[in-house]
Amino acid sequence: MIRARRARIVATLGPASRAPDKVLALAQAGADVFRLNFSHGTHEDHAATLEAIRAAEAVVERPLAALADLQGPKFRLGTFQAGRISVGPGARLRLDLDPTPGDSHRVYMPHPELFAALSPGAALLLDDGKVRLKVLDCGPDFAETEVIQGDGLSNHKGIALPGAVVALSPLTPKDREDLAFALRLGVDWVALSFVQRAADMAELRQLVQGKAAVLAKIEKPAALTDLSAILDLCDGVMVARGDLGVELDPEEVPVAQKTIVRAARRRGIPVIVATQMLESMISAPVPTRAEASDVANAVYEGADAMMLSAETAAGQFPLEAVSIMSRIIERVERDPNWPGLMDAEHAWMEEGDADALVAAARKAAESSSTACLAVYTTTGTTALRLARERPLQPVLALTASVNAARKLGLVWGLEPRVAETPKGLDDLTRVAASMAADLGLAEPHSRIWILAGTPFGSPGAANLLRLAHAPAKGR
């Protein structure tokens, strides 16, 4: 199964979609990566879901990636005596460490680390930003606040501190247990929630130890100020617009999205745009026109993938959501203006031989007689280098590692496949040309550029660019 598009689709699995037959249907409809959301479900649920992903992979005969999304810390208020209170602008509300159920004057906030991050004048957002508080006075165990906006609060509503860096690891004890379990299962990607600084990603990398690729979810404004250092420690990044939109003003979210996508593209690491892309399809069979434009905008930006969350995890129309997203992507990529946008911005080029060879491969492939590019890669690095150049021809990424092939399923424009390590130049040429022809990427006698590194099978820089032609049918 070959995708007729370069941008990829991440589908979140949940009660509406994790049955084996539904996972297979989503893969056939266009899902390339499946997200296991560890904020919900049991370990048994996730184990069964991954088994369904691997079964679907065998049927569609293309690598499917599994992404484990760790929950991260969740800050919530305590309870109220009556279950909820009414508050309005100008009202005073004290937050403290007293676990007694609250009232309209005070409430329990069981997070000493949040009090430590507060200062007079700081803002607190409650209930996804529906209630906004201003800190008037604070200490290590209390905060006196004034309600700036909002009209009510109920038990256990979420808390956010826009702009503040909380002295707390984003890896909670639950996350550490979930991470160990996900790595034992054999997931391909691990996403860390609520990243604030580069040290958070360094901690995750140390725990993962190369058993999976690591991805930072950018959903805290503080992460934007440390974005460059964070990306230096990532294999991928996600624009998590849901929580990011809670702490940023609405007009700032599109700018943040473009900033993150552009920074990731310059580094040549895959970037996912996520949250509320086709939100109305949770309960409707078609998206709004604004949602279709939102997906299209991410494609025009050159994002590697778009993610569906509740649309596929709990919605009424998961299959339709994937199908329509795929159609939107394909339509944008047929726009005559789209190639120019892809060509307008490329990743940073280093001075090494491998980057020069990758750039040469992309340039050589621009000829109209070139059907596709093929790249041999051991760990996926050479394929990533080629993908970051955004070649418009299909790219067949060949690797002897099924794990590397699955990870590459998230990357723009790549068609990863498992193939044995070449025994020599003739074998390299024959396998690449034959597979390109068999998969329908190249017509008989059409030109194929092959990028590889020698010695074969050893991780390292590409040092070989070879021209081949697709075989005639029946050969």
Asked if 302 contacts 342 with a C-beta cutoff of 8 angstroms, the reply is yes
The continuous run of DSSP H or E covering 229 comes out as helix 227-231
Structure tokens at 37: 């959301």
Out of 12, 49, 145, 275, the active site residue is 275
Q: 382 an active-site residue?
A: no
- Please choose, from the candidates 198, 238, 200, the residue with its C-alpha nearest in 3D space to the C-alpha of residue 219: 238
Out of 74, 76, 197, 211, the active site residue is 76
Q: 331 an active-site residue?
A: no
- List strands edge to edge, sheet with 106-108: 106-108, 92-96, 142-149, 131-139, 123-126, 159-160
In a 13 Å sphere around the CA of 407, the CA atoms on its Cβ side amount to 29
Asked if 222 contacts 170 with a C-beta cutoff of 8 angstroms, the reply is no
Out of 3, 18, 35, 265, the active site residue is 35
CA-based angle 97:194:295, to the nearest 5? Answer: 135
Q: What is the dihedral of CA 313, 322, 407, 46, to 10 degrees?
A: 20
Q: 211 an active-site residue?
A: no
Structure tokens at 213: 């690729």
Out of 8, 132, 217, 362, the active site residue is 217
Q: What share of the chain is helix, strand, coil (3-state, %, to 5)?
A: 40, 25, 40
CA atoms of 241 and 78, how far apart (whole Å): 26
Q: 35 an active-site residue?
A: yes
Asked if 462 contacts 382 with a C-beta cutoff of 8 angstroms, the reply is yes
Helix (H, G, I), strand (E, B) or coil at 2: coil
Beta bridge partners, 214, equal: 190
Asked if 375 contacts 383 with a C-beta cutoff of 8 angstroms, the reply is yes
CA atoms of 4 and 327, how far apart (whole Å): 10
Task: Classify residue 28 by burial, with Cβ atoms within 10 Å: 0-12, 13-18, 19+.
Answer: middle
Residue 323, φ and ψ in degrees, nearest 5: -60, -45
Catalytic center residues: 35, 76, 217, 275
